[in-house]
Amino acid sequence: MRRSTVARATCTGAAYYGHADIVKILLSRSFSPMNPLRRHKDLLHELDTIVSAVKDRGLALQAIADTLKEFGNYRWVGLYDIDHSARLVRNIVWSGPGAPEYPTFPVSRGLTGAAIASRRTINVGNVAQDSRYLTAFGSTQSEIIVPVLDKTGASVVGTIDVESEQRDAFSPEIERLLESCSERIGQLWFRQT
């Protein structure tokens, strides 16, 4: 079984890695072509390792966004906080060619608003055909928003936003995988550092 490069790096005795170090560690490995089930297990293992090994919340979330982007060769991945008292969605980290067009927006807007309201994944294969889509990048063809639920499953505390330049990029299998990712990383929304 392949050991995570993050686990190897954090076991070397260094107490703290900066963002650039973590990105280098993550980008030094790749998800080799193999059967999809093995790739999915490797991704979940990689996320588990990041959650347990990287103590700084922001660095862990950045590493997760970078890992998800690389895994699917997606154009853009963003992770968001939900501030229910202010009724706002706020970008925490992103991985891709540029910052989000809307780093903060009302919880009722866009595909993210639909995911928050329904507490379910919103998977849109052709964003040009969905009036809820908030245009961020002109090249986005499909987008999936996966809610991150609180410990009871009653409230959305964050989201995973993945965008692709390909139409219908997110099969039901990938949707389930990203939902598993959400469950694995959810504890980071309760980490204070």
For the chain, what is the domain count? 1
Tens digit of pLDDT at every position of the chain (193 positions): 333 334 333 333 333 445 555 555 555 555 555 567 788 999 999 999 999 999 999 999 999 999 999 999 999 999 999 999 999 999 999 999 999 988 999 999 999 999 999 999 999 999 999 888 887 777 899 999 999 999 999 999 999 999 999 999 999 999 999 999 999 999 999 987 6
Q: What is the DSSP code (8-state) at residue 186? A: G
Query: What's this model's pTM, rounded to 2 decimal places?
Result: 0.82
Which residue matches tokens 């997606």? Answer: 74
Find the domain containing 107 and state its range: 5-190
Cα separation, 100 vs 5, whole angstroms: 28
Q: What is the CATH number of the domain that holds 54?
A: 3.30.450.40
Instruction: Select from 36, 37, 61, 38 the least CA-distant residue to 50.
Output: 61
